[in-house]
Amino acid sequence: ENRHQDIHLYVNSPGGSVTATLAIYDTMQFLECNVATYCVGLAASGGAVLVAGGAAGKRFILPHAKMMIHQPYGQVGGQVSDIEIQAQEILQTRETLNKILAAHTGQTEEQIGKDTERDRYLSPIQAKEYGLIDEIVVPKKKPQAVTQEAKDAAGKK
């Protein structure tokens, strides 16, 4: 309805297709409104890219969630020429993902490359220090329900 109202995207994902990740990421960047992102549970691989790609100042993680970054996986097969083509594509994809993470975290592309050589899991504090998210969401204390017994006791005073 309102093209300028924030969209809230909750991510709990082990990752998946790089093509799908980049399609969602590009859409998030294209929209006129801000996209606030929330890591709930696990945001791994492409899920981490989506959380990090949220609007600056509006990237959140829950206290017991985790994030994981790594280089893209590739399954290559076929003729040697096909393997070369697929390998080149995977390398270009890795470079693209490193640029995206660098743009949103403040880390250099070189640092991202080193840090994603293997699976790197980050706690909420580590994710914030790394620049993947802006804030750790701390649950607000809920008001205690007032029982009839408590009401009766208060009325007698």
From 70, 81, 104, 123, the catalytic residue: 70
Q: Which residues of 59-95 are buried (b: 16+ CB within 10 A; e: fewer)?
A: bbbbeebbbbbbbbeeeeeeeeeeeeeeeeebeebbe
Active site residue 70: yes
The phi-psi region of residue 110 (left if phi > 0; otherwise alpha if psi is between -120 and 50; otherwise beta) is alpha
From 13, 17, 45, 123, the catalytic residue: 45
Give catalytic residue positions.
Answer: 45, 70
